Amino acid sequence: MQTQNPFSPDFGTPPEFFGRERYLEIMRSALRAGSRSNRALLIEGVRGTGKTALLGRLRALAGEMGWEAVYVTSTNAAKELAFDITRLGAHPHVSSAGLTVAGFGASVGLEKSTPALSSLRQVVLDHLGTSKKGLLILIDEMQKIDKDDAQEICDALNAARESSNDIALVMAGLPGTHAHLETFEKCTYMVRARRFFLSPLSVSETRQAVDSAFGKIEGLHVPAEVRESIVTFSSGHPYLIQLIGAEVFERALGAHAARGETVTVTNEMVEEAEEVAYAEYARNVLRLVFARVGEGTRAYLHAIIETMDGQGVMRSDRSIAEALGKRSYRSIANYRVRMIEAGVLRSVAKGKVKFRIPHIPRYLAEGLPEMVDDFWDADDDFPMS
């Protein structure tokens, strides 16, 4: 068995990118010559839905389509963009700002603020004036962008668009980013961006991802029903796929070390892996999502979970108000709206909702699983009495 784990549950760039064909297709058509639509996008989603990974893939896609792309997070975004765009134009040895830059290796050591003497607007216009390529700007963690940065970036983008150059913007942030951007005047460029909540992978994309990643591990046999249980447990959430995959791999490697030869993944291994994956996911995602959700909203969620069908569809209508002992439907409608805005629920039909991310019913019922200390050694430990 190979010893390199093809799964990586760290946040950010994955070793293998799964699915997202729908989003990639939108970007492909947006970047096509002559297109003017979808050139400003805002992707929202709770932590771990795959926003950063998607931005990374979109950046690579832009390159494949002959565009240049720069990726920054919202911290000092205008300065960082000015720096990175200047560096795009930098020929070896001399950058467009006149700095001596001996390729990428030496430029890393430069103070990031050095070339930002001219405004971002000027940097963008200068760059587009000389470059024959379109420019895709990707900004992550947009929920934290400050007003001055947002305004400077909008100003630059407006100027670039007026001179009819190829420019596109993709932003990603936690749910609520849109509301944050709306508080900035003069930044319609960002406010009018087409807004998505990042969905999980589709069922077929998830099957493909699991087949492909496990298929790369030599000497590991993963029976079809085991793969299917991983698909079901992950519900297409890429972070869960990475978590379960990594845990299954570790267990299989352990079995290989003990017995050698080809290892078959057992249901038992997968069940153990799922418990560890759930615990990590609950701690790193669900705990944060529900940190500030009050009792009223929790009671509402418990009530709608009672109505869940086999497709995960729940009722959020008058009957829920009744179940909660409220007289009007209005009194519960706010909970629904708030949970939709928080990226927890999606509306699938009139009065019908679904969760956007998996394992919420379990989390609401059980909370965080207890962390048992692996390092406890009963035979060699003080009693601490």
Ligand X SMILES: Nc1ncnc2c1ncn2[C@@H]1O[C@H](COP(=O)(O)OP(=O)(O)O)[C@@H](O)[C@H]1O
Residues within the interface to ligand X (CB under 6 A):
8-12, 14, 17-20, 45, 47-53, 238-239, 242
Point out the residue whose Cβ comes nearest to Mg ion.
52
* CB of 196 or CB of 329, closer to Mg ion: 196
Kindly report the backbone phi and psi dihedral angles of residue 53, in degrees, each rounded to the nearest multiple of 5, phi listed first: -60, -40
- Least distance to ligand X, CB of residue 16, Å: 6
Q: How many CB atoms lie within 10 A of CB 23?
A: 20
- Least distance to ligand X, CB of residue 171, Å: 12
* CB of 17 or CB of 329, closer to ligand X: 17
Partner whose binding site includes residue 9, from Mg ion, ligand X, none (CB under 5 to 8 Å by kind): ligand X
- Least distance to Mg ion, CB of residue 304, Å: 28
* CB of 5 or CB of 316, closer to ligand X: 5
Partner whose binding site includes residue 49, from ligand X, Mg ion, none (CB under 5 to 8 Å by kind): ligand X
- Least distance to ligand X, CB of residue 241, Å: 7
* CB of 85 or CB of 273, closer to ligand X: 273
* CB of 2 or CB of 13, closer to Mg ion: 13
- Least distance to ligand X, CB of residue 23, Å: 9
Q: Which of residues 16-55 bind Mg ion (CB under 5 A)?
A: 51-52
* CB of 61 or CB of 333, closer to ligand X: 61
- Least distance to ligand X, CB of residue 56, Å: 8
- Least distance to ligand X, CB of residue 168, Å: 20
HEC-encoded secondary structure of the chain: CCCCCCCCCCCCCCCCCCCCHHHHHHHHHHHCCCCCCCCEEEEECCCCCCHHHHHHHHHHHHHHCCCEEEEEECCCHHHHHHHHHHHHHCCCEECCCCCEECHHHHHCCCCCCCCCCCCHHHHHHHHHHHCCCCEEEEEECHHHCCHHHHHHHHHHHHHHHHCCCCEEEEEEECCCHHHHHHCCCCCHHHHCCEEEECCCCCHHHHHHHHHHHHHCCCCEECCHHHHHHHHHHHCCCHHHHHHHHHHHHHHHHHHHHHHCCCEECCHHHHHHHHHHHHHHHHHHHHHHHCCCCCHHHHHHHHHHHCCCCCCCCEECCHHHHHHCCCCCCHHHHHHHHHHHHCCCEEEEECCEEEECCCCHHHHHHHCCCCCCCCCCCHHHCCCCC
* CB of 56 or CB of 245, closer to Mg ion: 56
* CB of 53 or CB of 252, closer to Mg ion: 53
- Least distance to Mg ion, CB of residue 245, Å: 19
For Mg ion, the binding residues (CB under 5 A) are: 51-52
